[in-house]
């Protein structure tokens, strides 16, 4: 059903070839790689055998037997080859080629290795399974089957987009991601804000220090237990021990000065200072956390000099002011704006992904 395509031998070294198109090297070249369908280098078109709408097969390395349908122009560089359909006189559609490619890949990939490479002479007699009708290969089924899969993929992406948007809006408490007039105004006036320095203890009272709880003494449960570190935002375990429970909408500062906003109740060990911002509106509290982090996490605290609750009480942070007092309303608007803009970026990314998928489908 297939034959190997003869191509001009190219003497280029892959190490000397670009991985992106240049003025001279514009033609994708096939190697034994699996990334980008094996098209990992670019060569000049001169003296190259230009192929299109054929199947490529890796013939070397860990990916020997990896099979791809190449619908765009390319050439063969090394450690791979291309085959074309010869069983019937009719020209096969892209969808039929995709179906054939998947059948070949399923048959040979994983059955060959370094010492038994998937060269053409070895695989050409392997059998592949294809749909038939009245004793003949059913190309109509291949066409409709691949088209249906492509339509399902587009539908899945669109459903994922709706679900992602709904989830982000729900968590953030928004109906939509469009900025309000007040949020737009706050963003536009950001450069004109007046700032002032404030002591944390004066703003929120004395900070609290957690208590040590050895790992061996922790009893499994549902209460997040915060320790120093960035992994999982410092949550090292979920416990049921009888420990002090700190309120949500507060800020923790670990031994290195790293500040994090907590929107849930939690316990904390002795390397954690808790700043009691719970009376602030949520987004104002998040803004304050960023201001704390900027002031406390710039290298002055480390293993040799830990950050403690007393350091939080002495810490000064920069905040926007109005009439000489912290402008928490503007802080809320700014953080709300940032949240909505991030959600919008995620939605736009999803839209681009769907549009790209639709274009690939239509091109095929």
Q: What is the pLDDT along the chain (364 residues), one digit of tens a residue?
A: 889 999 999 888 888 899 999 999 999 999 988 888 999 899 999 989 999 999 999 988 788 889 999 999 999 998 899 999 887 666 788 888 889 999 999 999 988 887 888 999 999 999 988 888 888 888 888 888 877 777 776 677 667 766 666 665 566 665 566 788 888 898 899 899 999 999 999 999 999 999 999 989 999 999 999 999 899 999 999 999 999 999 999 999 999 999 999 999 999 999 999 999 999 999 999 999 999 999 999 888 988 899 999 999 999 999 999 999 999 999 999 998 888 887 777 766 666 666 666 665 555 5
CA of 67: how far to CAs of 6, 35, 189, 326, in Å? 18, 12, 56, 63
How far is 111 from 63, CA to CA, in rounded Å? Answer: 11
Tokens of 230: 């960035």
Q: Which domains does the chain have, with CATH numbers?
A: 2-130 (3.90.220), 194-326 (3.90.220.20)
Tokens of 274: 């808790």
Q: Tell me if residue 54 falls in helix, strand or coil.
A: strand
CA of 336: how far to CAs of 162, 165, 179, 184, in Å? 21, 16, 9, 10
Tokens of 60: 């070397």
Report yes or no: 339 and 178 within 8 Å, Cβ to Cβ.
Answer: no
CA of 195: how far to CAs of 14, 188, 203, 286, 321, in Å? 56, 16, 15, 17, 6
How far is 179 from 335, CA to CA, in rounded Å? Answer: 11
**Given phi > 0 = left and psi -120 to 50 = alpha, else beta, which region is 278?**
alpha
Report yes or no: 271 and 231 within 8 Å, Cβ to Cβ.
Answer: no
How far is 296 from 253, CA to CA, in rounded Å? Answer: 8
Query: Considering the entire predicted model, what is its pTM?
Result: 0.56
DSSP conformation letters of 285-326 = HHHHHHHHHHHH-SSS-SSSS---HHHHHT-EEEEEEETTEE
């Amino acid at each position: 059903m297939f034959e190997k395509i003869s191509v001009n031998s190219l003497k280029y070294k892959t190490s000397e070839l670009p991985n992106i198109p240049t003025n001279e090297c514009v033609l994708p070249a096939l190697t034994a790689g699996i990334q980008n369908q094996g098209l990992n280098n670019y060569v000049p078109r001169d003296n190259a055998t230009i192929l299109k709408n054929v199947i490529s097969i890796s013939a070397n390395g860990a990916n020997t037997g990896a099979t791809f349908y190449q619908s765009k122009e390319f050439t063969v560089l090394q450690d791979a080859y291309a085959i074309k359909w010869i069983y019937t006189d009719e020209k096969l559609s892209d969808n039929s080629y995709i179906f054939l490619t998947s059948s070949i890949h399923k048959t040979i990939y994983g059955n060959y290795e370094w010492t038994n490479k998937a060269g053409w002479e070895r695989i050409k007699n392997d059998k592949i399974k294809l749909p038939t009708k009245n004793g003949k290969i059913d190309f109509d089924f291949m066409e409709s089957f691949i088209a249906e899969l492509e339509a399902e993929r587009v539908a899945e992406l669109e459903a994922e987009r709706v679900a992602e948007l709904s989830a982000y809006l729900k968590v953030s408490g928004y109906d939509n991601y469009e900025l309000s007039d007040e949020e737009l105004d706050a963003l536009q006036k950001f450069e004109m804000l007046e700032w002032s320095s404030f002591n944390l203890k004066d703003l929120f009272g004395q900070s609290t220090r957690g208590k040590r709880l050895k790992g061996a003494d922790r009893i499994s449960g549902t209460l997040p237990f915060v320790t120093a570190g960035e992994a999982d935002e410092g949550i090292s375990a979920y416990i049921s021990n009888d420990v002090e429970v700190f309120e949500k909408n507060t800020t923790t500062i670990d031994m290195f000065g790293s500040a994090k906003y907590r929107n849930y109740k939690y316990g904390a060990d002795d390397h954690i200072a808790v700043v009691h911002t719970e009376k602030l509106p949520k987004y104002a509290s998040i803004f304050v956390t960023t201001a704390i982090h900027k002031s406390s996490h710039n290298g002055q605290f480390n293993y040799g000099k830990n950050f403690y609750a007393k350091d939080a009480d002495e810490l000064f942070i920069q905040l926007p002011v109005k009439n000489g007092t912290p402008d928490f309303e503007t802080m809320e608007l700014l953080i709300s704006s940032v949240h909505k803009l991030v959600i919008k970026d995620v939605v736009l990314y999803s839209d681009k992904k769907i549009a790209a998928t639709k274009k690939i489908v239509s091109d095929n």
